[in-house]
Structure 1
Amino acid sequence: MDVDNGSSDGGGSFDIEQSLLQQFSCMGTTDKDELVKQLQKLLGSPSHLNNSAAAFFLDMNNWNLQAAICSYLDIEAPNILPSMALVSDPVATETESIEPNTKFQKYWHICNNGNEQWPVGCSVQCSQGNNFGTNSMSLPALNPGEGVHVCLDMTSPSAPGIYQSKWRACTPSGSYFGDPMWVILTVVEQGTIELTEQLSHFNELGAIPPLAPQVFNPFIRQTLHQGESNKDTAPPDEMYQ
């Protein structure tokens, strides 16, 4: 960065650049008390991370919230996360359409496939995409080998389209673990599903119906079947007089 300060050695330019970099790193962080609260909220309740500890990590990173979180996780967070496996996903790739603003449920069967019990306070959260009006669901502290069925009440978006979201198991400190779980949803315009059902019903009506009893019409010459006599099917001569 070039600065016209009348000095040929560039020392003043270096000092100004360092100052600006520090200001950029602290941009939007003037309210330190609010940053402390945000850090505590993201990493756990205040009982897990008190004000002094939160301020320490923030001050160590020039009050940059993201950098403070990384520092905390590198130093304080356990290196081994819980283990979780997705046992079954009944509708992993939804093919059925749904109308806007319609309530539905999403199911997953997951288990603890590790060697340690899950910590108390784990949950299932949306990590990416549309959360379909659902925040999170608490998970029990499963022992190794135990499983649980997760059921989330959701609502389809108001606009037609294809939506998806990724859900993850999450520790109380906010670290994701285990297999990802997906929701893929096709939202169609209001009335489309009803119209499709009606068209399907019409197709059924157009199918070949079962044979009905034949009624003899003397004015229509009947088709002869093999082995039948013409005198049995031809109309009498007096019909045409």
Structure 2
Amino acid sequence: MDIDNGPSEGSGNGTMDIEQSLLQQFSCMGTTDKDELVQQLQKLLGSNLNYSTAAFFLDMNNWNLQAAVCSYLDIESSTKLPSMALVQNPVASESESIEPNTSFDKVWHMFNNGTEQWPHGCYAQCSDGNIFNGCRVSVPALKPSEDTHLTVRMTSPPQPGVYQSEWRLCTEKGAYFGDPMWVIITVVEEGTMALTQQLSSFSELGASPPAQVAYNPFVPQRSHLEQTQDATPPPGGKDMW
């Protein structure tokens, strides 16, 4: 987590301001519920802190929120997070239709848009929404400007509906970094996909049917050879008439 302490001559005052601001927020927090404490710690320290890391710092400090914040700032504040950007638009605007209990692969194309190589041990995991039975996936230690395709094997839910999932890259210590990666699917009833594909093969409603040549059984039909002879111009390229 990057913290700007201001100019060097006032660095001490900057740290004191941060601590005083946090202490003011602590005065409004008196819960002992562990899930609530994890959420409060995430709210105080920002979206880069995932659930498991927040729980780790709280447990290390006997679930004392103030002590957990101080420990995190002491350990993580000096660490610069890696940089990642998706090649495609990171904002999910389209959903995919899929039948219930169906396996599918979600692929994200990403690259290191920073100036330093990613540290070893980075991985991708679901940070919010439906996990779709997806597992944590390791990512390579990309150098600056290098790219990779991350593939996660998932399974659609059993009930029809619209589902979404947010995935993030994490450092080995559990800090989120880079663009969020979205999965949005529409689960449809079995058989609906096949019907939709069949309808898509039909002509659009109101389109004119293809022209058909009427066949008159009482008119003698000329052979292909006679038609070819009629279409062939006479020698010299001029009419004989």
TM-score normalised to the size of structure 1? 0.60
Q: Secondary structure at the match of 1:124?
A: strand
Residue 199 of structure 1 corresponds to 199
Conserved in 1, the CA contact under 8 Å of 2:122 and 2:171?
yes
Conserved in 2, the CA contact under 8 Å of 1:108 and 1:149?
yes
Instruction: Give 1:106 deviation, angstroms.
Output: 1.0
Residue 125 of structure 1 corresponds to 125
C-alpha change, 1:206 and 1:109, in structure 2 (3 Å) is same
Residue 166 of structure 1 corresponds to 166
Conserved in 2, the CA contact under 8 Å of 1:90 and 1:108?
no
Instruction: Give 1:208 deviation, angstroms.
Output: 3.9
Percent of matched pairs sharing the same residue: 51
Deviations 1:59-79 (A, max 9, x none): xxxx11766653332111234
C-alpha change, 1:26 and 1:90, in structure 2 (3 Å) is closer
1:153 aligns with 2:158: no
Residue 70 of structure 2 corresponds to 71
Q: Secondary structure at the match of 2:124?
A: strand
| Structure with the greater alpha carbon radius of gyration | 1
Conserved in 1, the CA contact under 8 Å of 2:167 and 2:181?
yes
Deviations 1:21-44 (A, max 9, x none): xxx76667xxxxxxxxxxxx945x
Residue 100 of structure 1 corresponds to 100
Residues in 2 aligned to 1:65 and 1:150: alpha-carbon distance in whole angstroms: 37
Q: Could you list the runs of 5+ residues in structure 1 that have no partner in the other structure? A: 1-23, 29-40, 44-48, 219-241
Conserved in 2, the CA contact under 8 Å of 1:104 and 1:155?
yes
1:182 aligns with 2:182: yes
C-alpha change, 1:155 and 1:67, in structure 2 (3 Å) is farther
Instruction: Give 1:85 deviation, angstroms.
Output: 1.1
Residues in 1 aligned to 2:63 and 2:83: alpha-carbon distance in whole angstroms: 31
Residues in 1 aligned to 2:209 and 2:31: alpha-carbon distance in whole angstroms: 77
C-alpha change, 1:157 and 1:66, in structure 2 (3 Å) is farther
Q: Secondary structure at the match of 1:145?
A: coil
Instruction: Give 1:133 deviation, angstroms.
Output: 0.8
Residues in 2 aligned to 1:117 and 1:148: alpha-carbon distance in whole angstroms: 13
Q: Which amino acid aligns with 2:192?
A: T
Q: Secondary structure at the match of 1:133?
A: coil
TM-score normalised to the size of structure 2? 0.60
Q: Could you list the runs of 5+ residues in structure 2 that have no partner in the other structure? A: 1-29, 35-50, 219-241
Residues in 2 aligned to 1:131 and 1:204: alpha-carbon distance in whole angstroms: 38
Q: Secondary structure at the match of 2:159?
A: coil
Residue 46 of structure 2 corresponds to none
Instruction: Give 1:200 deviation, angstroms.
Output: 3.5
